[in-house]
Amino acid sequence: MAHTLTIRLREELYELLEQMGERAGKTSDELGSQWIELALERVVNDPLFKHAGSVNSGVTDWADRHDYYLGQTLKEEMDGADTCKT
């Protein structure tokens, strides 16, 4: 079952969406809908998303930036830094 969603975009963003839709052979509605679906599927299929909020780490943006934090930890480990400070 499909649902209708109304969103408001600034004029310049809407114009950009229209231009990109034209290049892709789609309407701005079709392209916007496709992007929203892809973004939601990415969240649903993210293997770490199910753990978001399960640990109180004091990091409030973990769900949005976990890839960044994991990358930073990996970089520190590769650089020889002690990431397990107690």
Domain count of the fold of the chain: 2
User: Is 1 inside a domain boundary?
Assistant: no
What is the pLDDT confidence band of residue 86, given thresholds at 50, 70 and 90?
very low
Cα 20–Cα 24–Cα 28 angle in degrees, nearest 5: 55
**Quick check: 31 and 24 in contact, CB under 8 A?**
yes
**Predicted local confidence at residue 56, as pLDDT:** 79
Amino acid at 71: G
pLDDT tens digits along 15-73:
999 999 999 999 999 999 999 999 888 888 888 777 766 777 787 887 788 889 889 98
- The pair of structure tokens assigned to 32 is 């916007």
In the chain, the N- to C-terminal Cα span, in Å, equals 52
User: Is 86 inside a domain boundary?
Assistant: no
User: Is the pLDDT reported for residue 83 higher than 70?
Assistant: no
What stretches of 1-86 adopt beta strand conformation (E)?
Answer: none
Segments forming the whole domain that contains residue 11: 7-45
User: Is 2 inside a domain boundary?
Assistant: no
User: Is 19 inside a domain boundary?
Assistant: yes
Domain check: are 73 and 62 in the same one?
Answer: yes
